[in-house]
Amino acid sequence: MTRADRYNSGPNTGAATLARRGVAAWLCALLVLTGVARADWDSLVSVVSRAPGDAELVVAVEDAAHLRRTRIGEALTGVIRESGLLERTGSAWDELALRLGLSDDDAFDRLLGRRVVLIVRPGGAGRDWALISDVDQRTEALLRARLRPVPRRLVNRRPVYALENGAFELVTARLSDGRALFLITPRGSGLLGDGAAMLLDGTPALDETRPGSVEALRSLDAGDVAVLWRPEGGFAALSAEADGELSASMVSTPGLLWGPRTCCAGFDLWSGDHAEAICDGALLAAAGLMGSADDQIALASAFVRAGPLHGVIQQLEPWTGQRLAFAVRETDDGRVSVDVVSELIADEAGGPVDRAMALGARRLAQTSGGSFTKPPACLPDTVPTAIRTHSLGVYGAGLFGEQSSVSWTYAQRDGSWLVASIGPAGSNADEARRAAERAESPSRGRVRPRVSVGVVRPNALLRLLAGHGIELPKPLLALERIGSLRWDAWLDGQMIRSRVILSPP
Amino acid sequence: MKGDLERRIDALFDRELDSAARREVIGEVRHDAGACEEVARTQRIVSMLREPVESPDVTDDVLARVDRRRGFLTPRLRRMVTVGRLAAALGLVAIVGVTALARRWWPEATTLTPQPAPITAVVESGRADAADGLRTLMDSVDVAITPVLDRPASLAALLESPRMSDLPAFESATRVRFVGTPMLVQADLVEPGSVHTAGFDLAPPTTRRVVFIGIDPSRPLVAEMRPVIRVDGLRETSRERRVADDAR
């Protein structure tokens, strides 16, 4: 067998195939990382746009070393370390850093801290990926010295190295001005080969395979992080920048990040200031649309339906719309109240909804050993704005006080709304009244149609729970380093745009 | 005296005399014809000994004869020894070549001690953590809110079956968590290693069914699934609710 025959034999494992892939990957890396002159948003978008056409996920990060040292970067690093969620990865990274003779932080900064691109695409046995990083020549030399790459072949004067029992392939190159590139892929990866061929042949790459995705990314606010995720049936683009806080702007097809897949034709969306008013001041709040494609939410919904409120929700379904909001608040006396605001789609809903709510109160009271008082028969239909209150007894492990109650009423703003609150028995009626006032708050002109608005304040929420004796597992305790997570998603034509802001305490 | 002269002439040819003695002997020989003839004859003999003697080269014949006469190895055995030596040399070359190729293509095969693979560890750990991270976080949330929502009591209240209180999954469960769809709720019991799981099939409203699964941790979950209680047409009124105990 001649060298050429050997190289051409086999589907993906021939030496020539590997060599071509290595060189193609190298060329692609070169094109990706050196074809841009400015370290700005356009260049990051350009990096992403030149990835192979079948890439499912492309992440490009500029100056990750700086991002790590920002306040929010340090907070997130602390969360990762303290939660233990990435404990094995952290240990493995420490080993890698030790092998390189660096601290783990230095290893991050020198290996990934300048410009790094991760490309993932579906592969035969899982995911195929490639990591390309722009490093200094000292780091490139360090990699070659400490990781002991084994030269496999020399193609076009460019060596392709094998790493760690041949599990990975490494291509490095020195550029001008002291820079260098390294590209690492799993053995046999053809990820960048196709993309490089497309680039070299002048064939359009990523954007043409999913029209609009790169343009959508380009339309976002400038940032240091660019992400393009393109699963089957849609795409999502993200831009993020970090300083004191992490601010991400996103655009996605409906159902992927926000809202149901069928959104949003025929949906009544939230008015912006309405949703914000309901979430205002809450420790945890969300205003969104029912029917989310998220499996976890569907499962949680199924659990609620199967719980003591089964039948209640079933009875409410004919009268409730798609807009639903909830808010967890700290009461004046340090207890917790949970507000629920649900859209009603019929003016005559009062009677059936009252009966369903009374049934729910009875169910909750039965499970918690509380009392149940039958409501006055005349109240629901005659005084819609009256506060209905039923005792739940001891419920919610003391979070709602020694005695808790459920109160509800109705509010009017762009239609009818059911406003319910579970909280301390003594003050819950007032909580329900305040919730209704928020639900009826007058418009301030911020009426951009919202798909979802919400806030989570992990730091304050976890402190409140801990103060009531709720034992919190380590992964949750680590979230104390996060002050707030706020999101706002709105409809923009056929797409859903959103902004997510993560802040330290 | 003559005998003494002969002895000194021999010493002369043997270069045992100093220059004074040599001159003395040569002076005496000049006056003695017999001694002079003796010296000339001896000189001639010495000169002849210094000249090469022409004779045929019999080295090959001698060595061949010696070779043939070696009695400890037969010619066949000697050929085998030769072939063996050649094979050993070729083997050595092959080992060196294979080792060189192995170091190029399978470097790990050329080392006796396991080599560290930090990049492999980072990649594999990252995959594992990514897969487990979300689940761990959800479990953490579940652990935190279980006492708040009082789920075991809620589930028991849902079914309102008098037999429910007899089921250990709800009597002594420490926590209940989601484990899968359509609606699997796993309850961890107080006894170490003992787990019961309740499954709720919620899809068709009119054939809603509740099953309880006794889990032996050493056996697959699905294999242990056995329906104990079936609840048909679960509604909020007892008149419409029928509870059938399939197990009994």
Instruction: Find the distance separating the first CA and the last CA of chain A, reported in whole Å.
Output: 67
Same domain, A376 and A440: yes
Q: How many domains does chain A contain in total?
A: 2
**Contact across the interface for B140 and A474, Cβ inside 8 Å:** yes
Distance from CA of B139 to the nearest CA of A (A): 9
Instruction: Supply the angle between the helices A104-112 and A137-146 in degrees, to the nearest 10.
Output: 120
∠ Cα A70 A73 A77 (to 5°): 140
Distance from CA of A471 to the nearest CA of B (A): 6
Residue with token string 């170490």: B192
How many CB atoms within 10 Å of residue A172? 23
Report the percentage of chain A scoring pLDDT > 90: 18
Strand partners, A485: A456, A502
Position A429 scores a pLDDT of 84
The residue-averaged pLDDT of A47-57 equals 81
Same domain, A43 and A120: yes
Question: Is A165 domain-assigned?
Answer: yes
SS (H, E, C) A215-245: HHHHCCCCCCEEEEECCCCCCEEEEEEECCC
Same domain, A397 and A431: yes
Strand partners, A121: A128
Position A456 scores a pLDDT of 92
**Contact across the interface for B124 and A359, Cβ inside 8 Å:** no
As for the ipTM of the complex, it is: 0.76
Distance from CA of B119 to the nearest CA of A (A): 7
**Contact across the interface for A306 and B202, Cβ inside 8 Å:** yes
The residue-averaged pLDDT of A429-451 equals 83
Position A309 scores a pLDDT of 57
Question: Is A86 domain-assigned?
Answer: no
Name which of A26-40, A95-109, A172-186, A208-222 the model is least confident about. A26-40
Strand partners, A126: A123
Question: Is A93 domain-assigned?
Answer: no
CA distances from residue A29 to A52, A169, A170, A177, A454 in whole angstroms, order as listed: 11, 14, 12, 17, 40
- Alpha-carbon torsion (B149, B152, B158, B162), positive or negative: negative
CA distances from residue B167 to A342, A377, B243, B244 in whole angstroms, order as listed: 36, 39, 15, 15
| Mutate: best of A89, A161, A338, partner B, most B CBs <10 A | A89
Residue B204 near residue B195, CB atoms below 8 Å = no
Name which of A55-69, A244-258, B72-86 the model is least confident about. B72-86
Position A197 scores a pLDDT of 40
Which H helix or E strand runs over A336? strand A336-344
Same domain, A240 and A268: no
pLDDT of A34 over the 60 cut:
no
Report the percentage of chain B scoring pLDDT > 70: 51
Question: Is A119 domain-assigned?
Answer: yes
| Mutate: best of A99, A164, A476, partner B, most B CBs <10 A | A164
**Could you tell me where the beta strands, DSSP code E, fall in A279-335?**
284-289, 320-330
Same domain, A177 and A224: yes
Position A33 scores a pLDDT of 47
CA distances from residue A435 to A217, A280, A287, A375, A484 in whole angstroms, order as listed: 38, 10, 13, 21, 21
Residue A103 binned pLDDT confidence (cut-offs 50, 70, 90): very high
Same domain, A358 and A495: yes
Q: Classify burial at A352, counting beta carbons within 10 Å of its beta carbon; exposed 0-12, middle 13-18, buried 19 or more.
A: middle
Position A483 scores a pLDDT of 93
Read off the pLDDT of residues B81-137 as tens digits, 9 standing for 90 and up: 889 999 999 999 999 998 888 776 666 666 666 677 888 899 888 888 887 887 787
Read off the pLDDT of residues A332-389 as tens digits, 9 standing for 90 and up: 888 888 898 988 887 666 778 888 888 777 777 766 555 555 555 545 445 677 888 8
Residue with token string 């790094």: A116
Question: Is A85 domain-assigned?
Answer: no
Same domain, A328 and A222: no
Residue A205 near residue A50, CB atoms below 8 Å = yes
Position A13 scores a pLDDT of 39
Mean pLDDT over each residue of chain A, to the nearest integer: 78
Higher pLDDT, A7 or A70: A70
Nearest-by-CA chain A residue for B101: A152
Pairing of strands A484-492, A320-330: unpaired
DSSP symbol at B16 = -
**Contact across the interface for A85 and B129, Cβ inside 8 Å:** yes
Instruction: Choose one of A187, A218, A244: the last residue of a domain.
Output: A244
| Mutate: best of A170, A310, A462, partner B, most B CBs <10 A | A310
Position A24 scores a pLDDT of 45
CA distance A448 to A444: 11
Position A226 scores a pLDDT of 93
Nearest-by-CA chain B residue for A169: B119
In chain B, which residues have pLDDT < 50? 1, 152, 154, 156-248
CA distance A96 to A471: 35
pLDDT of A173 over the 70 cut:
yes
Please tell me if residue B106 touches chain A, with a CB cutoff of 8 Å: yes
Nearest-by-CA chain A residue for B233: A311
| Mutate: best of B105, B115, B119, partner A, most A CBs <10 A | B119
Tokens representing A124 are 């035969």
Please tell me if residue B101 touches chain A, with a CB cutoff of 8 Å: no
CA distance A51 to A195: 6
Question: Is A89 domain-assigned?
Answer: no
Nearest-by-CA chain B residue for A127: B127
Same domain, A342 and A425: yes
Position B113 scores a pLDDT of 67
Higher pLDDT, B245 or A281: A281
Instruction: Choose one of A200, A220, A244: the last residue of a domain.
Output: A244
Distance from CA of B124 to the nearest CA of A (A): 8
* Maximal CA-CA distance, chain B: 169
Question: Is A163 domain-assigned?
Answer: yes
Same domain, A167 and A307: no
Strand partners, A57: A120, A229
Name which of A70-79, A115-124, B114-123, B150-159 the model is least confident about. B150-159
Q: In this structure, which long-range contacts are made by residues A440-443, counting pairs with CB atoms below 8 Å and at least 24 apart in sequence?
A: A440/A411, A440/A412, A440/A413, A441/A273, A441/A274, A441/A277, A441/A413, A443/A271, A443/A273, A443/A274
Q: Could you tell me the residue range of the domain that residue A133 belongs to?
A: 3-63+114-244
Position A415 scores a pLDDT of 83
Same domain, A212 and A257: no
CA distance B213 to B169: 9
Question: Is A90 domain-assigned?
Answer: no
**Contact across the interface for B157 and A397, Cβ inside 8 Å:** no
Please tell me if residue A306 touches chain B, with a CB cutoff of 8 Å: yes
Instruction: Choose one of A211, A244, A277: the last residue of a domain.
Output: A244
A 282-301 residues inside an 8 A Cβ radius of B: 295-296, 299-300
pLDDT of A150 over the 90 cut:
no
pLDDT of A501 over the 90 cut:
yes
pLDDT of A32 over the 50 cut:
no
Position A192 scores a pLDDT of 53
Residue A474 near residue A496, CB atoms below 8 Å = no
Same domain, A499 and A455: yes
A 143-162 residues inside an 8 A Cβ radius of B: 147, 150-152, 162
CA distance B130 to B133: 5
Q: Classify burial at B145, counting beta carbons within 10 Å of its beta carbon; exposed 0-12, middle 13-18, buried 19 or more.
A: middle
Report the percentage of chain A scoring pLDDT > 70: 76
Position A301 scores a pLDDT of 53
Write out chain A residues lying below 8 Å of B117, CB-based: 164-165, 167
Write out chain A residues lying below 8 Å of B138, CB-based: 296
pLDDT of A109 over the 90 cut:
yes
CA distance A54 to A48: 12
Tokens representing B19 are 């220059």
Same domain, A200 and A270: no
pLDDT of A237 over the 90 cut:
yes
Name which of A203-212, A250-259, A457-466 the model is least confident about. A203-212
